[in-house]
Amino acid sequence: MGNLLTAITSTKLVRQLLCLDSGVLRVNADNMLAVPSPFYTLYHAPYYEMAVNTDLIAGTNDLNLSATPAGHVRVVTNVSMYYTGTVTNVYLFLRVFDGGSNYEVLSQRPPVTRVVYSHQCWIPVPEAYSIRLHVEGATVHDDAYLFAIGYEFLV
């Protein structure tokens, strides 16, 4: 198990998503993920945000939440996605976005129209990264909503 955890946490993406390079989380001598005790004193504020687009274009659309500010880490603990439109063959993808690359966290397959998908989660969002809802297959003037709540920490 230790070698597997070391191999997994050696990749840049995983290290960034788990905030290993920021010192918030680390792999200890037993190759276990560890949270340093000062982490609990770095709580900054609750985090909640919403993105809405009530005029989607046909095809592919992205809704982005704001990027995590410098010196902070967000932990998203609940996310909700909602789509309403005239077609049923629409896919929803929740991603972490670093400004250039998307890292898929979860997805919903059709039919998704008029259903609120709410997921309890634990998604660390390092500084300069954001949460993105990617909608595939929308028609003109469809609607998409993205809600996220959690916590923000100073690092």
pLDDT over 80 at 12, yes or no: no
**Model's pTM, two decimal places?**
0.72
Tell me the average pLDDT of the chain: 80
What is the distance between the alpha carbons of residues 76 and 3, in angstroms, rounded to a whole number? 28
Beta-carbon neighbour count of residue 56 at 10 Å? 20
pLDDT over 80 at 43, yes or no: no
When pLDDT is averaged across residues 71-78 and rounded to a whole number, the result is 91
What is the distance between the alpha carbons of residues 155 and 148, in angstroms, rounded to a whole number? 21
Residue 71: what pLDDT? 87
How would you class 1 by CB atoms within 10 Å of its CB: exposed for 0-12, middle for 13-18, buried for 19 or more? Answer: exposed
Query: Exposed e or buried b for every residue in 33-54, given b needs 16+ CB within 10 A?
Result: eeeeeebeeeeeeebeeebebe
In this structure, are residues 64 and 144 in contact, taking their beta carbons and an 8 Å threshold? no
Residue 77 token pair = 């603990």
Q: For the chain, what are the domain ranges?
A: 43-154
- Asked: is 43-154 a CATH 2.60.120.1330 domain? The reply is yes
Q: Given pLDDT bands bounded at 50, 70 and 90, which one contains residue 27?
A: low
Q: Given pLDDT bands bounded at 50, 70 and 90, which one contains residue 92?
A: very high
pLDDT over 70 at 4, yes or no: no
Distances (CA, A) of 13 to 56, 103, 137: 30, 9, 28
pLDDT over 80 at 72, yes or no: yes
Highest mean pLDDT among 20-24, 40-44, 98-102, 111-115: 98-102
In this structure, are residues 15 and 124 in contact, taking their beta carbons and an 8 Å threshold? no
Element (H, E) at 69: none
